[in-house]
Amino acid sequence: MTARPAARPTPPAVGYWIGFTVVGILLVAAPLVLPPFWQRFATEILVWGLLAMSSDILIGYTGMVSFGHSAFFGLGMYGAAAALLTVTPPSLWLAVLYGLVAAGGAAVFVAYFATRLRDIYFAISTLVFSQIFYVIIFTWTEVTGGENGLTFSQPRLAIPGLWSDRFTPATFHWFVLGMVVVSYLLVRRITQSPFGMVLQSIRENEPRTRAIGYHVERYKIVAVMLSGLFAGLAGVLYAIQNKFAAPDFVFFVVSGEVVIFNVMGGMGTLVGPFAGAAFFLLLREGLSRFFTEYYLIPVGIIFTLMVMFVPQGLLGFLRRRLNP
């Protein structure tokens, strides 16, 4: 019996790239055609989508459900806030750097301990770590501003030493879009690399991956770090857009929402979490206008129906419809 050659990853369909380009063009054009509120909303969707995508590295590709992403997101915000409040004049790139260092540092710390655990125990340990960060930020008022958080001014969009200009809502949207596209392509490349294949192998069968000879813990640690870095980047962008950092973003509820974005959009797809974030945020915004404080009831019903009837998420559903 001859061994079957390993299946090479199939190149993405032309349709995929056409879809990618069309969505990209629509997002580029968004600030030019949308009213100001929806323009800002579109930018916010991109940021939450980036956070959800970062969590997809763990949930969708490594099979580890994290409830600690609020900590990475929040620390990215506070890292950016630290740069913007302590360095004069405020520097955009330093804010990004500080945010990534804060989120990355926390991710290393969490990963070192949490990756020794599996399944529900991993999820609980990430939740516990995020709550520890929350309590520290909430009570250390002198440094973090406590419950009130920190407010700061928006840095200028600058190429150091060459050019700088104030952000407008449109330029900020394009800046975020650029960051998101680069992040997406980077994560896509990572998940399709041999490293990404090992992560998927861990998801499918961890004991077998270990038996083959891979150091599973190291791969998991790197996965958590990568995920934490992109979550931190989302936090930095959110902080710069809104000009404040608050402990509420470190609270585990944000992590729960990120898991919902993944489930709604489709786990293990990278693009799905963006679709999930957009769907959830638009649904919440739309329904809250009609039902005010009772909007969570229809949101909950829709979410339950989706889990029951579209468990593979919006993207998975679309895939099935397009490729019957």
Partner 1 sequence: MTERWQDEPWAKDMWWSGKTTRRTFLGLGTAAAGAVGATMLVPAPWRAAFGQARPYKVGVLQPLSGTAAAGGKTALVGTQMAVDRINRSGGLNGRPIELVIADYESKPDVGRRKAEKLVLEDKVDIAEGGYLSNVCLACMPVFEEHRTVWMIGVCLDTTITTTKCSRFVFRPFDYAPAQAVAISPYLVEKMGKKWHIAFLDYAWGQSTRDAYIEQIKKNGGEIVGTTGIPLGTADMAPFVSKISGSFDGIFGIFFGANAVNFTSAIYDLGLTKKYKFAGDGAIAESTHLPALGQKIEGFVGINRYVPVLDPPLNTPHHRKFFDQAVAALKQIDPSGPLPDRYVQSNFEAMNFLKLGIQRSGFRGREDTMKLIEALEGMEVKEGDDFPQGDKTLRKEDHQAFLREFIFTIQNNKHKIVEVVSKEKTVVPPACKFV
Interacting residues with partner 1 (CB under 8 A) = 35-37, 40-41, 44, 135, 138-139, 141, 145-149, 151, 238, 242-244, 246-249, 285, 288, 290, 292-296
Q: Which residues contact 165 (CB under 8 A, 6 or more apart)?
A: 156, 157, 158, 171
Residue 182 Cβ, how far from partner 1 at the closest point, in Å?
24
CA 199 to chain CA mean position, Å? 18
Question: Minimum Å distance from CB 53 to partner 1?
Answer: 19
User: What DSSP letter does each residue of 268-319 carry, written as one string?
Assistant: T-SHHHHHHHHHHHHHHHHHHHHHGGGTHHHHHHHHHHHHHH-TTHHHHHHH
**Cβ proximity to partner 1, 38 vs 195, nearer residue:** 38
Q: Which is nearer to partner 1, 16 or 291 (CB)?
A: 291
Q: Which is nearer to partner 1, 146 or 316 (CB)?
A: 146
Minimum CB separation of residue 222 from partner 1 in Å reads 30
Task: Determine the Cα–Cα distance for residues 69 and 259; give it in Å rounded to an integer.
Answer: 9
75, 232 Cβ separation under 8 angstroms: yes
| Closer of 285 and 319 to partner 1 (Cβ) | 285
CB of residue 12 vs partner 1: minimum separation in angstroms? 34
Nearest approach in angstroms of CB 56 to partner 1 is 21
> Among residues 2 and 292, whose Cβ is nearest to partner 1?
292
Q: Considering beta carbons, is residue 10 or 292 the nearer one to partner 1? A: 292
Closest CA to 227 of 60, 79, 78: 60
CA 22 to chain centre: 22
Q: Name the β-bridge partners of 245.
A: 150
| Rounded CA separation 33/29 (Å) | 7
For the CB of residue 139, give the shortest distance to partner 1 in the complex, in Å.
Answer: 6
Give the whole-angstrom CA distance, residue 219 versus residue 12.
Answer: 26
